[in-house]
Structure 1
Amino acid sequence: MIKSSFNQPGVEDMKAGFKEVLKYRNANNTGPVQRIYVVTVKDSIWKELEDYGNLMPHTKYGNTKVYFFMEHTNIPQSLQPGEVNFDPQFNSSCIALYEKSAMSQVAFNKHPF
């Protein structure tokens, strides 16, 4: 039983080649926490992208978003909170969006823009 606890699959076991290149977390520690990530991948293995999103930190009543881009494509250089998290010129390069809402509902969208 102990061995299985230490041998759980993780990001390093996935084949998509994830690289977290940008992240944002608001400084609000008393209210909803908003986390936003930009992650590049070598391959768009959709199931792995969703699994990666499920592994990301999430706070009760907070919101977590993970934007996926293919490596070697144009990606945002900065993130901001709110509905629009980066300059829309990068929308066409975004291949997927994982979002976990304040009520822990998960949405995974291929080509969200």
Structure 2
Amino acid sequence: MKYILLGLVVLLVGYMLYDAGSEPGIDDLQGTYREVAIYRNENNTGPIVRIYAVTVSDTTHWDEMKQYGDLMLYTKYGTTRVYFFPEGKPVPATLSPVRPNFDSKYEPYCLAMYEKDAMSQVIFRKRPFRVVQ
């Protein structure tokens, strides 16, 4: 009886490890995504703000960019923001907490912006800095 119970525990732990390792992740996306700059506020007593600048190899897969944002770290009542830039074009090396979070000279190169706000609402904008005339 003791060996049967031990066998069940080993099987259960093995299944949990397999299940945890088979969750979809960033590596499962078709395009190549590379984090170039990251900002995280130092305030550990209030809302956590995470901002990323990411390069993208395939600039036409908007759904994948949104999926990438969905897979990024998020803290309840915090904010996660991801800016996507085409690979091989200028990308900000540093980010700041003040919007638009990087120097305006990079705005024309920004393909999309993903944001998950403090209420877990997701906003995904294509060409967020494009001026409509």
TM-score, length-normalised on structure 2? 0.80
SS of the residue corresponding to residue 19 of structure 1 reads: strand
Q: Which has the higher strand share?
A: 1
Map of 2:39 onto structure 1? 24
Q: Could you tell me how far 1:83 is from its partner in structure 2?
A: 2.2
Residue identity opposite 2:88 in structure 1: H
TM-score, length-normalised on structure 1? 0.94
Q: Could you tell me how far 1:9 is from its partner in structure 2?
A: 1.8
SS of the residue corresponding to residue 123 of structure 2 reads: strand
Q: Could you tell me how far 1:26 is from its partner in structure 2?
A: 0.4
4+ aligned runs moved over 6 Å, structure 1: none
Map of 1:81 onto structure 2? 97
Map of 2:25 onto structure 1? 10
2:122 paired with 1:109: no
Structure possessing the higher radius of gyration over alpha carbons: 2
Q: Could you tell me how far 1:105 is from its partner in structure 2?
A: 0.4
Q: Could you tell me how far 1:62 is from its partner in structure 2?
A: 1.0
Map of 1:61 onto structure 2? 77
SS of the residue corresponding to residue 103 of structure 1 reads: coil
Map of 1:90 onto structure 2? 106
Q: Could you tell me how far 1:84 is from its partner in structure 2?
A: 2.0
Q: Which has the higher helix share?
A: 2
* Sequence identity (%): 50
Residue identity opposite 1:13 in structure 2: D
Q: Which runs of 5+ in 2 are unaligned?
A: 1-14
Q: Could you tell me how far 1:23 is from its partner in structure 2?
A: 0.1
